[in-house]
Structure 1
């Protein structure tokens, strides 16, 4: 079943279906360039500039950002957008009657581009709180994750897949290269209650708080009855890739606060919120270590936070007080 038909069957209105058509179109353009591995335009390597977070922008970061901005602007359904690659939120004056705003990381894991590791696009969709046709306001963008209308990501890997939720389960679609359409392959995906993988960058272990240090050691020490290890460590360094594996196989992903990043490194609005929304709709959990990610009221467009997400049993072990 094609993406748009499945969305309609899930109860998505026409405007939301059209918005997803824009995501589909832009993602196919990005996928085409990613799959050519630099054979086309010179969009690989560093651009020589930084985004607002002080991170070096890759050429493909900027290319992907421009693709999605163009698609959303042309859809007529999106009044504004906040992107990791843009200092400030964008307002689309030509579609101010649009009822949605989008938060997006156009190319997650872009530091892996030159080594051909899986990368992705992460997005969150909200219904604007300001009146249709009027100038957007800050509150349109600073909404809690619980208010998301839909969220998802595109995983550019061996195949290109879109994982999304409109609040009625989490679903996976694969891009069919012959028809050029996303086809439903897994409906109502459920993350395993427990898992075998913990995804933590342990090079920062000395900077973790004591509770997380104990949990990391627990993952190393826990054994099955036959003496074999219960868990294994897997950390790709691309949130989309790490999350996708854990969604299907079971596991936990952690990017905590550290000495260098006391507020965490991942962004709440366009990384942690959409991934937590997907996890919760698949039976998993997302937290900043203190509370459910989806309950956090953001105060800044590029706000960072610690991030724990994954299988409920592993989440409960890592954060027993949550």
Structure 2
């Protein structure tokens, strides 16, 4: 059986369906190489001296892990010189990172969460990298890229993907023509296509949420989870399992593979914040992937990818996964 590599897949998408521009193909390949390097660093763990925290905090006020900073640097350095980008933005940086003047500029913008699930780094649980590509707005006279150029709704994404560093290192990718999954062949150093049409089952009996926050939830979320816990005797008439890894990449990868619903809703601890997860670096790319796999992604009341961002580090409430279960959760919000 002939194995198809990431490059072959992208070239076919470029030739046959025109869904991938040549510059985007090269950009994806650069990001994939950077993810491979991050995966190697993650795999070394204590042997590479990469575990533990630094004394610094990121723009979100979170203590940075050594691997957070290393992963951010790997992605910046890999993507600066290729000529495909106008600028980058990262969850770990306060503002955008323009491409230095010594390098050619491209027509695209790259956003990324360099290492999602940082709390799991030191305990050897799956973590990952999330990324998103937008088209840079056309500017006259070589005007510099600004933060405002990044503030596009998720529906404008050209590419979204994530790498998950687990028992296998995998790359999950959409260019708007379904979802493809690649597994890293560590012996050959190549990303090999292992699923070219990933579909999320429409129904599920599995939910993913941090139950320790239950007392802070809004009424619709509390009612839904209470009904799930009521099992066969309850209004939903089925027994549910709960899974929670505290790594969005790992939790979403599980539901993409076998169905489920992932929820990180608004709660009353910080009522002025619309949610915990970042719209641009986490929610939008994951929503694009989930929708391309036949699922749904909402805040509870609206489609995530319809939101017009007004801040680079904007937060949002997230409910995504199996189509029918997400629609069920929305009905709880509609009845509020």
SS at 1:274 equivalent = helix
For 1:47, what is the secondary structure of its paired residue? strand
2:195 aligned with 1:192: no
SS of 1:104's partner is: strand
Match of residue 308, structure 2, among 286, 297, 301: 297
Which residue pairs with 1:118 in the alignment?
126
Q: Which residue of 1 aligns with 2:139?
A: 131
SS in 2 for 1:230: coil
Within 5 Å, give how 1:1-322 maps onto structure 2.
1-11=4-14, 12-40=20-48, 42-94=49-101, 95=103, 97-131=105-139, 133-223=142-232, 230-262=239-271, 263-320=274-331
Rate the CA distance shift 1:120–1:210 in 2: closer, same or farther, 3 A. Answer: same
- SS of the aligned residue for 1:223 comes to helix
- State the Cα distance separating 1:229 from its structure 2 match: 5.1
Residue aligned with 1:80, SS: strand
Give per-residue Cα distances to partners, 1:197-239, cap 9 Å, x unaligned. 10010110011111110100111123299xx952100000000
Question: Which SS does the other structure have where 2:45 is aligned?
Answer: coil
Query: 1:79 is paired with a residue of what secondary structure?
Result: strand
Q: Deviations over 1:132-189 (max 9, x none)?
A: 8431023321110000001010000000000010000011000111111111100111
**3-state SS of 2:297 partner:** strand
| Residues 282-304 of structure 1, C-alpha deviations (whole Å, 9 max, x = no match) | 00011111210000000000000
How far off is 1:122 after superposition? 0.3
Question: Could you tell me whether the CA contact under 8 Å between 1:96 and 1:135 is conserved in 2?
Answer: no
**TM-score under structure 1 normalisation?**
0.96
- 5+ residue gaps, structure 1, are none
Residues 266-320 of structure 1 deviation map (CA, whole Å, 9 limit, x = unaligned): 0000100000000000000111112100000000000001111100111011111
How far 1:112 moved relative to its partner? Answer: 0.6
Displacement of 1:20 in angstroms is 1.1
Query: In 2, distance between residues paired with 1:18 and 1:131?
Result: 23
Is contact 2:320–2:326 with CA below 8 Å preserved after alignment? yes
For the 8 Å contact 1:4–1:20, the answer to whether it is kept is no
Distance 1:187 1:33 in 2: 27
Which 4+ stretches in 1 moved above 6 angstroms?
Answer: none
3-state SS of 1:254 partner: strand
Alpha-carbon RMSD across the aligned residues, in angstroms, is 1.8
Gaps of 5+ in 2: 15-19
- Look up the SS of the partner of 1:248 in the other structure: helix
